[in-house]
Structure 1
């Protein structure tokens, strides 16, 4: 089956399932615009295909998807042509996955970050193996947890989503399961059998009952209680103050504070407001909000500086502007959320 994805993404009708495979393992299955458009076209076609009962998304190689193609974003943005349409199509795809009327099963065996999260965690079934690692590390490159992060992260109990958004830290499959990010965990060695059974029956609930393997939470209770205490504060400043008070006697607080203080101050303030707002917004409203933020990020400094430090001049220290949280005003943050007029995202 060909939906215009070339050699970057494969589509198959196997039994009762429409199966999508990301095929850019050498690039950790980073999403290109062509992949996004092709997946969207496939979902449109399969939504009304009576021969398909379930949609499955998986990937080749050691990563499910490490995110979007940010090198392309850097190059086009620096050339004065930021890829706004890439993100618009990506956000529309995220919303389509969230509203899919058919079961949407993401089979995640490896790294899943950024854009990879957007095409997996808005589906009905998020199935992770012991090889899976989840992160939304955008604040570390001067960006924000987009692709529906404002819809996904606020629902996690104990302020765990705010913790993930403000630190960008990675978690494994046990934490993902117990936080509610993943719906199921299975053994990596069982993926083939799981997929065979799923394509035969088209019924993910019954198949998962036979393959589900309970995963233990990796983060211990004292740490979870600390996350809940620190990250439930009513403002970002209060979060930082809480961590600072505990840092002298608590290794977790000290390490977490040190991590946060390396992130873009602008990204941190925008992300805190974004995740807080998302708690009461629909997926569609979240995507419209994120598109407003996205447009301002593409016109700013820190996103390109973060990519430069992480990808172009690997390992160098980013020079954020402004350089401190105190230098980012409320008015600066408000500007990221302001309406776009005729440029608003249409879903």
Structure 2
């Protein structure tokens, strides 16, 4: 074959190869586009959910909730699906929460979204809690608000050194929802009350030590862990627990570091055992330690309305079933999105980012018991009953 012919063939071959690669990319992007913000795949023995908005820290939208819920129910009934795995795309986040900016805009425009979003989100959270198949959440990276809702109620939650857990809703005129009223008061001592009121951030192994994660695995080992789970043949819950336990036991990162709040737990238990927010503040003032004064500063920046709602939500939630908690939280969500503090908090923290919200009422004294009772009132036929 002449050199020119050979070159022609080679260039045709490389063109063919390039075309093939382009077609593959197009097919992949078409699949991703169709799947959009959430990817739902059956792989090996598992149904795999990937939250796919990495640039927006995988924040949860109504559309995503509507895609995940029916698929979760299908997999739950499918005899060939033995477990469900949920994870986030990208390096930074599992899921940084619900799309509260969209919710605030919808509430101002009096749109249906505010009723529908919370109703469907909490219904999904409850479906995860009651799921008959083992549910494994890989909470690698930022996990807040709505991200907590699609992970913490599952049977297995795997934290890594990149995990960052927080329920910072009192900063934006909301409350730690998605079942926070159930799982927070069930953490050790008064830890959950502290986390819910202050929005304190737990990182890495501390997410496991606090009882939010069930296992801790090095972030770099997650792809291997996932492959090992997918390769299981007709696994039982015990088989899955064994694989997770093996990876957990092998992880050495921060193994010898104490829980970040360990030295403060006595203070937390003492100061946050009060029945009112005013008493908690008084306890922190009387304690006077640097830690207590730091928490005092944090609490003083939060919405007074949110603080009072949150303390009551957690106190009542401590003796309610998860379903009763969701009914209560749905009532609270509908009241909060109709009030000033939520929109002001979203503006100050997420839109203008001036971090200077002007709360109404501006202090705890003006938030009366009567006003607080209104937030907890039943919604009649609009109540969420699970």
Fold match by TM threshold 0.5: yes
> Which region of structure 1 is more displaced relative to structure 2, 304-313 or 263-272?
304-313
**TM-superposition CA deviations, 1:156-206 (whole Å, max 9, x none):** 012000000000111113222122111000011110110000011143212
Match of 1:173 among 189, 194, 204: 204
**Alpha-carbon separation, structure 1, partners of 2:272 and 2:128:** 29
SS in 1 for 2:231: helix
Match status 1:142 vs 2:169: no
SS in 2 for 1:55: strand
Which residue is 2:19 aligned to? none
Match status 1:299 vs 2:338: yes
> Which region of structure 1 is more displaced relative to structure 2, 216-225 or 101-110?
216-225
Q: What count of residue pairs does the alignment treat as equivalent? A: 344
**TM-superposition CA deviations, 1:221-266 (whole Å, max 9, x none):** 321221111112232222111001122xx10011000000100000
SS in 2 for 1:196: helix
**Alpha-carbon separation, structure 1, partners of 2:240 and 2:114:** 36
Match status 1:112 vs 2:151: no
CA pair 277-217 structure 1, distance change in 2 beyond 3 A: farther
Which runs of 4 or more aligned residues in structure 1 lie more than 3 Å from their structure 2 counterparts after TM superposition?
214-218
In the TM superposition, residue 217 of structure 1 has moved relative to its aligned partner by: 3.9
Match status 1:221 vs 2:262: yes
In the TM superposition, residue 210 of structure 1 has moved relative to its aligned partner by: 1.7
SS in 1 for 2:47: strand
**1:172 touches 1:218 (CA, 8 Å); kept in 2?**
no
**2:38 touches 2:50 (CA, 8 Å); kept in 1?**
yes
**2:46 touches 2:84 (CA, 8 Å); kept in 1?**
yes
**Alpha-carbon separation, structure 1, partners of 2:205 and 2:242:** 22
**TM-superposition CA deviations, 1:6-29 (whole Å, max 9, x none):** 310001111111111111001000
Please report the TM-score for the alignment, with normalisation by the length of structure 2. 0.86
> Which region of structure 1 is more displaced relative to structure 2, 117-126 or 206-215?
206-215
**Alpha-carbon separation, structure 1, partners of 2:265 and 2:165:** 17
Which residue is 1:51 aligned to? 80
Which residue is 1:164 aligned to? 195
Match status 1:89 vs 2:120: yes
SS in 2 for 1:176: helix
Which residue is 1:239 aligned to? 280
**Alpha-carbon separation, structure 2, partners of 1:71 and 1:328:** 25
**2:170 touches 2:197 (CA, 8 Å); kept in 1?**
yes
Match of 1:37 among 60, 63, 66: 66
**1:5 touches 1:38 (CA, 8 Å); kept in 2?**
no
Which residue is 2:101 aligned to? 71
Match status 1:204 vs 2:240: yes
**2:164 touches 2:201 (CA, 8 Å); kept in 1?**
yes
Match status 1:22 vs 2:58: no
For structure 1, the residue ranges without an aligned partner over 5 or more in a row are none
**Alpha-carbon separation, structure 2, partners of 1:281 and 1:157:** 17
Which residue is 2:18 aligned to? none
Match of 1:275 among 296, 303, 314: 314
Which residue is 2:8 aligned to? none
**1:108 touches 1:127 (CA, 8 Å); kept in 2?**
yes
**Alpha-carbon separation, structure 2, partners of 1:319 and 1:220:** 31
For structure 2, the residue ranges without an aligned partner over 5 or more in a row are 1-30
**TM-superposition CA deviations, 1:72-104 (whole Å, max 9, x none):** 112111112252101100010011111111111
**Alpha-carbon separation, structure 2, partners of 1:72 and 1:52:** 34
In the TM superposition, residue 140 of structure 1 has moved relative to its aligned partner by: 0.3
